[in-house]
Chain A
């Protein structure tokens, strides 16, 4: 059932990014990838310890997409994602401790313990959630882009979703409106090849997801989602286009998740073999990026180890913060159902 999916490589773009990107940012991107990896590894353990409940979808293997994409943004730009979003939130600036506290269902979580793994929100940082219904947030991103144009401002919106979401109506409705109205939004398909356990070849009439943009006369590109600099290069162009001309782009980032769909799904099983996962792990995006940076003389092994130690320390501090945070108070049950109080009368029942 498995079909080879060639990933276009753009070494000239990688070279260009190495030249154009400040060294400190190149190193920080490696740190963010390491932090994302270590954070998610510890999340798996926290889930096993039942400190994290519910559905929990880990990002391990896909780090290059979020880190590459978000490296192109200004602080006032917005992102909105599906439910595999712990790393997006942290890279957008959410405090790792508050993210972990949210996963633990604690008072100091980014969503005050009421959202959980799938609903991470941080208004100050431009993180507009964490959404749990496949495709449901794509119109929301279209709406924030509509607002940017309405307000005559030049912030852009990045919208992340999986390849399985391109078969739901909201994807098509959104792309049509974004192209029709020229909205500053970038739709980023993280094509990790599987919608839960269903391979793209078994769910989609077209395997080349970026081609879907043709139907809406929209700019599109396909990028190797395991190559952080390639992602940065492509998304950077799309962000420029959105900021300058209010034009949307559809980006397909071809990647692979090294973990199961969620914590309740084994890494391999009915829908993919152990050998396939092992083979894909040879293209670990962090290892590849380390090799690029080392070859360019930007980091050495000691620097990588220092960054990794820092990532582990920040993750441990996040766990400690989450552990120390109290559960939400019982009063929180009734808070934030409405922002304006009920009408001027006494309810007969609460």
Chain B
């Protein structure tokens, strides 16, 4: 085991998969000469050359489509969005192209492609550069949506995403790139669609993914000091959602808080809450509660930004609420 950053874990996954399969290539803005806007592709141009590490113009819709077309012709593209915010100009290609091609061609053209890049808010990047778009993409049949929270998960899930024969939306946490974690020296993969229990507990189930896992674990630590035991479950894959461990946990704790960085309206948490009430209504001792990003475009000012983001304090309040402690 080695202690490495989330960024380096992703870099290892890319490097290993590029070595493993010559049909795999990486394209996007600044992925080559510049070594990646966030340095995730550092060193790859030097090892694999410009044919496989392809710097593109700033033309997201165009190169998203180039990736899909290349996939139709037998390649396995990894398309980097410098951030997911910029994917919105490419969303026609992702939704009308990648997601639907297999279905509308009657099973003839699967699209083995990974769209990856950082999502979520960083620090004072304001409205257009601070958003979590999981719910947008998770709404679409034909897409898989992955949002890892640790270096271990990031590497294992990215390798599976690259080997997957369908389009995968891979959302990295912009502020997680420097976070560190243990990653095995030997090769491993983590299947898409498998939840992971990040902390076991007995009183309340907390569901969180990507960097919200960090917030959840911090809050759980604080709550533990008050004798409140939280179980933190990280679905890791938003679509397909492995809800069985979530339901098992809720049947044990009888309470659930969903922590989500994105907006509340029609958010991923709403879907998870629906599935919990559908399958475990009789087990609930309190309504399922959500802690989400506030329902506003992200403000720039530091204090307002802080207010708009989910925090350990807000999660702690929600946990105490479902326990009827306040």
Contact = CB atoms under 8 A, between A and B. Distances in A.
Nearest to A181: B54
Interface stretch (B34-42, B240-248, B303-311): B240-248
A170 interface: yes
B252 to A, nearest CB: 16
A344 B104 CA distance: 26
Given A136-B93, A337-B102, A338-B102, A146 B65 contact: no
B74 A345 contact: no
B3 interface: no
Interface residues of A, number: 53
Nearest to A178: B66
A347 B243 contact: yes
A337 B142 contact: yes
B61 interface: yes
B61 A139 contact: yes
Interface in B58-76: 59, 61-75
A114 B64 CA distance: 24
Contacts, number: 169
Interface of B: 25, 51, 56-57, 59, 61-75, 92-93, 96-97, 101-110, 141-142, 144, 164-166, 191-194, 237, 240, 242-244, 247, 275, 278-279
A223 to B, nearest CB: 25
Nearest to A177: B62
A121 B105 contact: yes
Interface in A120-168: 121-123, 128-129, 132-133, 136-148, 150-151
Contacts of B194: 343-345
B92 A128 contact: no
Nearest to A129: B105
A340 B243 CA distance: 19
Given A144-B70, A338-B102, 11 more contacts: A136-B93, A139-B65, A140-B72, A143-B65, A143-B70, A173-B57, A337-B103, A343-B191, A344-B193, A345-B242, A348-B247
A139 B105 contact: no
A305 interface: no
A197 interface: no
Given A112-B106, A121-B105, A139-B64, A177 B59 contact: yes
Given A138-B65, A170-B62, A337-B141, A143 B102 contact: no
SS of A interface (majority): loop
A349 interface: yes
Contacts of B92: 133, 136
A336 B108 CA distance: 9
Nearest to A336: B107
Given A109-B106, A119-B105, A144-B72, A339 B166 contact: yes
Contacts of B72: 128, 140, 143-144, 147
A335 interface: yes
Given A139-B61, A177-B63, A337-B103, A348 B69 contact: no
Nearest 4 interchain pairs by C-beta: A143-B69, A343-B193, A139-B65, A173-B62
A72 interface: no
B172 to A, nearest CB: 20
Contacts of B144: 338
Nearest to A138: B65
A110 interface: yes
A151 B72 CA distance: 13
Nearest to A102: B106
B185 to A, nearest CB: 25
B108 A176 contact: no
Contacts of A170: 61-62, 65
